[in-house]
Amino acid sequence: MDLMSTIKGSNLENFFPKGWDLAKIDACCSHGAEDVLERQPFWNPGFEPVSADNVTELDMMMGHEIALTIRQTRDEGRKLAMIFPVGPMGMYHWAVYFLKAWNVSCGHVWGFNMDEWADSQGNTLEPSNPGAFQNAMCEAFYGPLGDLTVPPEQRNYATRANLPTYASKISALKADGAMLATVFGIGRVFHIAFWEPQFAEEFATDEEWKKQTHRLGAKLNPLTIEQNALHSFKSRTTQVPAFANTIGPGLFLQSDKIIGGCDGAYERGMMWQGMSLWVALRYGPSKWVPASFMPTLPGKLFFMKELAGPLNADIK
């Protein structure tokens, strides 16, 4: 017995996004850990998955990649537009560490936070709210950088007024020779930022879907809300907003470089992100699986070795 053989007539029968191929998702997860680095035909030649033994190592490697990208573009005299997440977060400590050690100023960096909690109209929390992504970004990255930080006027947050301006700002920066780098995690439902899989139903073709630059008051998938309840709200589901503002594929698919991170493993062999990792790497590009497009872009996806599995039942 498994989900596919028991789903008919259950409470899950019409729960998952309509375009998900559950058998294909399961097949993506059926490989042994030794196969996780096996290159797939749809991967960009410049895409590389990189394993880490533990979360500290992953945070350090990812933070180094962020700092290195900032240093290299500065050395080249090139502007850098960087799309930032709030989750994962551990890499910011190390990005700050390396930038300070190298004495690299971020004056050439334009930051774009990829999402923010919102109501159905796109109204967001006050920046000083402890739960606001803007607050978290300042606490983890912009603040600790001190005099080396990204200038305040070059920081962008996904507010109702500002998010719709991201596309034109990034376009202008790229026209001026800037690199666009996207830092990201992968959601339980394979989202990038809060661009949820069920949005695919609204678009007739992948090409139309790919043009979407953002969404105000995006309706979150129930599994996304539970993911955030567990990892950001100490299990308190009632505190998680049901909507968010988010960038879309029209922005993250323009990336010249991606820096991804999957750190979703608990203790005692338990995890939440193993399926997310394998599906992103193996499913193949599909508007129903936003993360499936990330391997088509150049860059690195860092992941905890434990997430590679094998993903088999292990009840303890």
pLDDT tens digits, one per residue of 46-90:
999 999 999 999 999 999 999 999 999 999 999 999 999 999 999
**Per-residue pLDDT, 210:** 98
pLDDT digit string (tens) for 124-151?
999 999 899 999 999 999 999 999 999 9
Q: Of the CATH numbers 3.40.50.1360, 3.40.50.300, 3.40.50.720, 1.10.10.10, which one belongs to the domain with range 47-308?
A: 3.40.50.1360
Q: How many residues does the chain have?
A: 316
This prediction's pTM: 0.97
Identify the pLDDT of residue 316.
58
Within 10 Å of residue 54's Cβ, how many Cβ atoms? Answer: 13
Q: What's at 252, amino acid-wise?
A: F
What's the sign of the alpha-carbon dihedral 163, 164, 169, 175? positive
Distance of CA 178 to the CA centre of its chain: 21
The rounded distance, in Å, linking the Cα atoms of 249 and 208 is: 10
pLDDT lower than 70: segments of the chain: 315-316
What pLDDT score does 313 carry?
81
Provide the pLDDT for residue 6: 98
Alpha helices in 219-267 (DSSP H): 222-231, 249-252
**pLDDT value, residue 103:** 98
- Predicted local distance difference test score (pLDDT) of residue 315: 61
Calculate Rg over the CA atoms of the chain.
Answer: 19
93 burial (CB, 10 Å; 0-12 / 13-18 / 19+) is middle
The tokens describing 267, both together, are 């203790």
Domain ranges of the chain: 47-308
Q: Which residues does residue 215 pair with via DSSP β-bridges, in sequence order?
A: 246
